[in-house]
Amino acid sequence: MMRAHMSPSIPGTVIRSPLERWLNLGGFAATHVGACLAPFVGFRARDVAIAIALYWLRMFAVTAGYHRYFSHRSFKTSRVFQFILAFVGTSCTQKGPLWWAAIHRRHHRESDGPLDVHSPRQRGLFYSHVGWILECAHDDYDPSDVKDLYRYPELRFISRFHMLSVVLLIVVAFLVGGLPAVLWWYCVSTVALWHGSFTINSLSHVWGHRRFATRDDSRNNWVLALVTMGEGWHNNHHRFMQSARQGFYWWQVDASYYVLRALASIGLVWDLREPTARVLAEGLYAPSPWNTGSPSVSSTPRPSSPTGS
């Protein structure tokens, strides 16, 4: 049996065997190769359209589901829709909701510090973007970081078997459209989704402006906000992480929030948390919101709990 041992630097993580490390790298590389081959294997308008649709659907599952709901509990929903968010989220091939939320909550506790698993300040831009994901040292999580989620057996199940939805997507694509559909529906849309969402760990901590004087390097970037359905307003998020809305002001486009408002209108979600009036005023009257350094205004230290509880 392959043995795993605890990492001395990051509590609650394991270092896997060399075989598991190579399997992880192989799957990641094969998906990228498949995405590159897709235009040469087949180029049908239907496959391209479905790839684009799957990108946005799964991006919402990451931004609104994995991030705003599971990591920060910024709104409420039913147990059924909670599972739907988790299931669709696993199709993004970013592991399960328990792992994702635990890692992200640690990121907020340790943001840009030595124990932040994906800080550009600590380990460089490439590592923060993709290198940390390829390290099996971060494959595990501490259940105590997600006690509020761990009590649901269905979330433990889907987190353990998080590849089920990925396999289902690939099988359906192959049955409907053969290899070209697999390459477009899964490989192209997944690679785009990976690197789109990964920019929030990397570029959003080095490229953009700082409206709020948070204790990390988080930045707002409208380009990344468009690509990630609103996650690019990252400095806003680090100032008031429990908000379901990350584009705090009307000119900050936040597509995930707009979808959440639509879902709230039909009763699928409710109690969407908003930034306080004090936080909004603090950011609105910041003297130099477009600078890339720290704004001259001071802010109240962010809450210690990533869930806002």
Q: What angle do CA 26, 27, 29 make, to 5 degrees?
A: 65
What does the pLDDT read at residue 245? 97
What does the pLDDT read at residue 300? 37
Q: What pLDDT digit, counting tens, does each position of 102-114 carry?
A: 999 999 999 999 9
What does the pLDDT read at residue 24? 78
Q: What single letter denotes the amino acid at residue 144? A: S
Mean pLDDT estimate for the chain: 87
Q: What single letter denotes the amino acid at residue 134? A: L
Q: Which residues contact 131 (CB under 8 A, 6 or more apart)?
A: 123, 124
21's tokens: 């490390």
137's tokens: 């040292």
The lowest-confidence range among 20-29, 44-53, 292-301 is: 292-301
What are the extents of the domains in the chain? Answer: 14-198, 210-303
**Percent of the chain's residues with pLDDT above 90:** 76
CA-CA-CA-CA torsion for 194, 207, 275, 286, nearest 10 degrees?
-170
Q: What average pLDDT does this structure show over 138-152?
A: 90
**Percent of the chain's residues with pLDDT above 70:** 85
Q: What average pLDDT does this structure show over 92-98?
A: 96
Question: For residue 304, what pLDDT band results from cuts at 50, 70 and 90?
Answer: very low
Question: For residue 11, what pLDDT band results from cuts at 50, 70 and 90?
Answer: very low
Q: What pLDDT digit, counting tens, does each position of 217-246 carry?
A: 999 999 999 999 999 999 999 999 999 999
Question: For residue 3, what pLDDT band results from cuts at 50, 70 and 90?
Answer: very low
Question: Does pLDDT of 195 surpass 90?
Answer: yes
Phi, psi of 93 (to 5 degrees): 60, 50
What does the pLDDT read at residue 309? 34
Question: For residue 285, what pLDDT band results from cuts at 50, 70 and 90?
Answer: confident
Question: For residue 12, what pLDDT band results from cuts at 50, 70 and 90?
Answer: very low
Binning the chain into helix, strand and coil, the percentages to the nearest 5 are: 60, 5, 40
The lowest-confidence range among 4-13, 107-116, 165-174, 227-236 is: 4-13
If one compares 252 and 136, the residue with the highest pLDDT of the two is 252
Question: For residue 19, what pLDDT band results from cuts at 50, 70 and 90?
Answer: low
Q: What average pLDDT does this structure show over 136-152?
A: 88
Question: Does pLDDT of 1 surpass 80?
Answer: no
Question: Does pLDDT of 30 surpass 80?
Answer: yes
What does the pLDDT read at residue 7? 36
Phi, psi of 233 (to 5 degrees): -85, 60
Q: What pLDDT digit, counting tens, does each position of 41-71 carry?
A: 989 999 999 999 999 999 999 999 999 999 9
If one compares 117 and 65, the residue with the highest pLDDT of the two is 65
What does the pLDDT read at residue 85? 98
